[in-house]
Amino acid sequence: MCPPGFRHFLLLASSLLLAGLSAVPQSFSPSLRSSSGAPCRLSRAESERRCRAPGQPPGGALCHGRGRCECGVCICHVTEPGTYFGPLCECHEWVCETYDGSTCAGHGTCDCGKCRCDAGWSGDACQYPTNCNLTRKKSNQMCKNSQDVICSNAGTCHCGRCKCDDSDGNGLVYGKFCECDDRECIDDETEEICGGHGKCYCGNCYCEAGWHGDKCEFQCDIPPWESKRRCTAPDGRVCSNRGTCVCGECSCHDVDPTGDWGDIHGDTCECDERDCRAVYDRYSDDFCSGHGQCNCGRCDCKAGWYGKKCEHPRSCLLSAEESIRKCQGGAELPCSGRGKCECGKCTCYPPGDRRVYGKTCECDDRRCEDLDGVVCGGW
């Protein structure tokens, strides 16, 4: 049995608790369940109303689409980097706008997913100065992309910073120079980004496993694990790291990450004709030194020639090692990577081009021709 004084204390505490709960706004009420595990005392319509942002019509997203609604209370969940919080899951850490790699351009603070700009700065990412001290010419120069196009023709220049077109208010055009246009990822039929089966990054769709196509519009007829198995080369690399696996078939890249062109082929992109190239200069298409046939990256030499790239004549009195050493001189590559080495002598490439010369092809005047074909820009 409880002492009478303790019972009075419990009644007083209960009264105060009920009074406190009645003072809390309905939209922030923790729950209206009579007890743990008991059914909710709110109607479904009322529960959803409390989980919906003010002003949203019935049927609108609950908890900003970032959580589930339980008896008028939002239970936030995480499906993207960061943390959702707030009574209606309206806040998302780490998602404030960035400019040139800096959150809020370094001129503001991130507060509940929005930039609060410092004095003298404005914009979604605090990227625009209130007062501009740049000339129009200087401003436009700062807004040009690598092709010398102002804001990639997809925005306007404001004090050396691009403001990307956003007539629909969906922010699909972005980037320092408005170079990314995610409208390219919208499927014409479904009007969804990447057909709802992938993610769009800078105008390119990256499809979920089992889907492919420019807009991820096609579904594979084999499971993802089988697709990967078929695309895996003997060395364990998918498409030999030189292609993309699409439904069990490798689509080989025409160009590697360094920018060098090559003829890449094979069931798992295992063949790379660049391995047969006699010279390292991208201006040359000379394979197997012109003295053999390239078969899946291996040179089969004609009679009278040998070497990994058929570069050494059998009539030469020098060994292959001595020949290469003479052609290399003080450079890292034979003929400085700009010519063909035969019996210790370099033939510079391209043939007949006098801009590449020297005993080991060490001089390359093409590097000076940068501006409208004028050597060193005329300076």
Per-residue pLDDT, 337: 82
Alpha-carbon distances, residue 209 vs 213, 221, 245 (angstroms): 12, 12, 10
In the chain the domains, ranked by start, together with CATH numbers, are 274-378 (2.10.25.10)
Are 98 and 124 in contact by the 8 Å Cβ rule? The answer is no
Are 147 and 177 in contact by the 8 Å Cβ rule? The answer is no
pLDDT tens sequence across 219-276: 888 888 888 889 998 888 889 888 888 888 888 876 544 444 457 888 888 888 777 7
3-state secondary structure of 196: helix
pLDDT in tens, the chain (379 residues): 445 444 444 444 444 333 333 333 333 344 444 444 567 888 888 888 889 888 777 777 888 787 888 888 888 876 555 566 678 887 766 567 888 778 888 899 887 778 889 999 988 889 889 888 889 999 999 999 888 999 999 999 989 999 888 877 778 888 889 988 998 999 888 888 998 888 888 888 888 877 888 888 888 888 888 888 899 988 888 898 888 888 888 888 765 444 444 578 888 888 887 777 765 444 455 678 788 888 887 888 888 888 888 877 878 888 888 888 888 888 888 888 888 888 888 888 776 677 888 888 888 887 675 445 555 445 5
Q: Answer yes or no: pTM beyond 0.75.
A: no
Per-residue pLDDT, 251: 83
Per-residue pLDDT, 8: 45
Query: In sequence order, what DSSP letters do the residues of 181-222 get, joined into one string?
Result: EGGGGB-TTT-SBGGGSEEEETTEEEEPTTEESTTS-EE-SS
